[in-house]
Amino acid sequence: MSKQQLINKIFFSVKNNVETPLKITGQQLLTYSLKDNICVKAEDDKTTCNSSMLWEYKSPFNSTIYDILSKESNLKFIGKTRLDEFAMGSMGINGPNFNPKDVLNPLFPDRVPGGSSSGSAASVSGGLVDFSLGTDTGGSVRLPASWCGTMGFKPSYGKISRYGVVDMAQSLDTVGVISNDIDKIYHVFKLLDQYDPKDTTSLPEELRFRPPQQDLKSEWKIGIPREICIDLCDPIIWNKFEETLHKLLSVPGVTLHPVSIPSLKLSLPIYYTLCPSEVASNLARYDGVRYGSREKNEFEDQDNDTDITLFASTRSKHFGKEVKRRIMLGNHTLSSGSYQNNYLKAQRLRMRLIDEFNSIFQVRNVLMGKTEIKTNSDEGIDFMLVPTSLTPPPKMDDVVKSQTNKQQEENPVTNYMNDFFTVPMSLAGLPTISIPMSLKSNLGVQIVGQYGDDYKVLNFAKNVMINSNVST
Amino acid sequence: MLMMIRSSYKTRSVHIVNCLLKQRFYTIQNKGARIGTKFESKQDIDDFLDSNKWDGQELLQSSTECDPSKVPTAPPSDEMIYKLLKLSGLSQKGIDMEEIRTTLTNQIQFIDLLQNVPLSEEEQKYDTNYARLLPRDNKPLKYNEILKLIETQKKNKQGSEISGSWNPTSLATISVNNYYILKKGLLKNRN
């Protein structure tokens, strides 16, 4: 496949040529792409979220992350990439007028790229850019990175500004970095890791500091949660994970421990209670009146209109199927009959999960302050290791077939299971990187650290998992 | 007979391994999470991963299939579906009612699993705002502290929008003289 064909399948818009000089004034020039839910202000550039609703939308402002990157002379923006509509999906196939030929996993062309940051991961694994920024709400950076055979880093929630990133679920949305090179991920994260007064969820300055010696340890305790031993995990993934743990066992300074986090099993129902509720709330703004697409006949007066809601036909036409499903589920959860039993219950169980994570990590969670009582902290672990996905990437043909199967189509829950290994870290906001379990493999493993331990996670990934050949 | 003995031997071995695994978790941390003694060998790891396998169908099956004493989740009625469509700002025209009902039933059954999970008294008192990953250790500001903060507050040059720098109605598909248009009928029917 030619480079131009690759670009056509992966990018929505291209600002600069991918064929750029490797160096400028002695510095290495790095190219990057952005997921198309990250706003860039430009006369001719759109931020579509791969939705018919925002198909012509031009942002009047830049996202903070684009502003930071565009000030760096050695970074060159190439363009905006594909995604699942409004970042909802795990296959990379949700969006208007979906055609399987338009979606690509460059290293494994018969497979889906994964989602929702499908184009971000594909632009890196296809060698079109050095790094890409995506968004990760329940695994949307880590899963496509894994299925495209590259690395995806989801930092601690609140570390990177979300200003100018289109909201999906604001208590979970996190900007993440995808690259084939761990040093580039480190470099880009360091640039973006700063407090932003424009983002009300940005982590305050005083909570960002971590003693540097914490990040450069030479002895590590790794926890393997027993709740990840789910029988739905494909044996190919499971065997490879076992092999990775065997290799780690022989690395000097590393000890592996079983851990138990009982609420981890409940993560998916918690996530699919809270996330659609936030989706329903955030996407209520799309009425076609102030911005976004507008269904023309809605402008006219219709005497026999059964839709009392003014903008109903606009929203019905311009939102895709999965988006509408999540909005309806979210409104069910938030409605008076369900709020107490579902929404508040899920919030409380999310707090329980966070507390359970806190109790097994050696380091205190910076968000807890004095509220966290730590006992036996020296016995806590530094990281957890968990596979990234339940299965290798499915074949595109099989996914297309399943869309025509009425029974499968009406049960989105089976697709939600793809997020089983990634959602717990999103709920707790933990820094997590997915790296291939072997070179150019589409089977990933996640390294998970305590909240705020982002650099420690990246150092461990580089110095132990990659340099000690555990994941090669 | 030989098969029975073998089978019984196997069951007993699994039981012994399970007992040992239970002992493995020596550190009883708060909140139910636990850490165990380190793995000494590859076999240790394999045993742990094999013996803790659990049935993923527990998540996919409805709560009543897991616990027959529970009242099954009723499929949403037509009335409820119309209500949800309205709340969602979606059209009630040309919908496939049965498809929506089946999808919603599957989704609701999935999240209803949480209803079977008991909460402790302490958990029922949680301030659920902190589920949103905010600093938990906050102290209320005193009046004088608020005044001091106002006095020392600096204007953020980057944070503020320059008034008149862009025309909001320019983003609307339909607008007239810098006004948004909702519906022609609203204008027509006004006396």
Residue at token pair 């949305």: A173
On the question of pLDDT at A266 being above 70, the answer is: yes
Measured distance CA(B179)–CA(B176) in Å, rounded: 5
CA distance linking residue B30 with residue B34, whole number of Å: 8
Gap from A27 CA to chain B (nearest CA, Å):
29
E strands present in A192-334: 220-225, 254-260
User: For this structure, is A154 an active site residue?
Assistant: no
- Spell out the residues 6+ positions from residue A158 whose beta carbon is closer than 8 angstroms to its own: A201, A202, A203, A429, B133
CB B107 within 8 A of CB B75: no
Residue range A180-225, pLDDT digits in tens: 999 999 999 999 999 999 999 999 998 988 776 666 678 899 999 9
Domains belonging to chain A, first-starting first, are 3-218+388-409+431-466 (3.90.1300.10), 221-265+355-379 (no CATH), 267-343 (no CATH)
Least confident among A93-102, A412-421, B26-35, B158-167: B26-35
Residue A116: active-site member: yes
pLDDT in tens, A127-184: 999 999 999 999 999 999 999 999 999 999 999 999 999 999 999 999 999 999 999 9
Q: Which of A229, A216, A222 is nearest to A248 (CA)?
A: A222
**Is there a catalytic annotation at residue A402?**
no
- ∠ CA A93-A96-A100, nearest 5°, is 40
Q: Is A92 exposed, middle or buried (0-12, 13-18, 19+ CB in 10 A)?
A: buried
Angle at A141 between CA A262 and CA A120, to 5 degrees: 170
Q: Do B110 and A246 touch (CB under 8 A)?
A: no
pLDDT at B2: 38
User: For the residues A335-349, what does the mean pLDDT come to?
Assistant: 92
ipTM of the complex: 0.91
pLDDT tens sequence across A20-60: 656 666 678 999 999 999 999 977 789 999 999 999 999 99
- Compute the distance between CA of residue A342 and CA of residue A274 in angstroms, rounded to an integer: 9
Which pLDDT tens digit goes with each residue over B82-114?
999 999 999 998 899 999 999 999 999 999 999
Show residues of chain A in contact with B137, CB under 8 Å: 368-371
| CA neighbor of A209 nearest in space, from A262, A159, A244, A272 | A159
Alpha-carbon distance A375 to A372, whole Å?
10
Which residue from A188, A39, A50, A167 is spatially nearest to A116, judged by alpha carbons?
A50
> Which residues in chain B have their CB less than 8 angstroms from residue A53's CB?
none
B9 Cα to chain A: minimum distance (Å): 24
Looking at the complex, report in whole angstroms how far the Cα of residue B161 sits from the nearest Cα belonging to chain A: 10
3 state SS of B28: strand
Residues B40-76: b if buried by 16+ CB within 10 A, e if exposed: eeeebbebbbeebeeebeebbebbeeeeeeeeebeeb
User: Is A351's CB within 8 Å of B130's CB?
Assistant: yes
Interchain CB contact of A209 with B (< 8 Å) = no
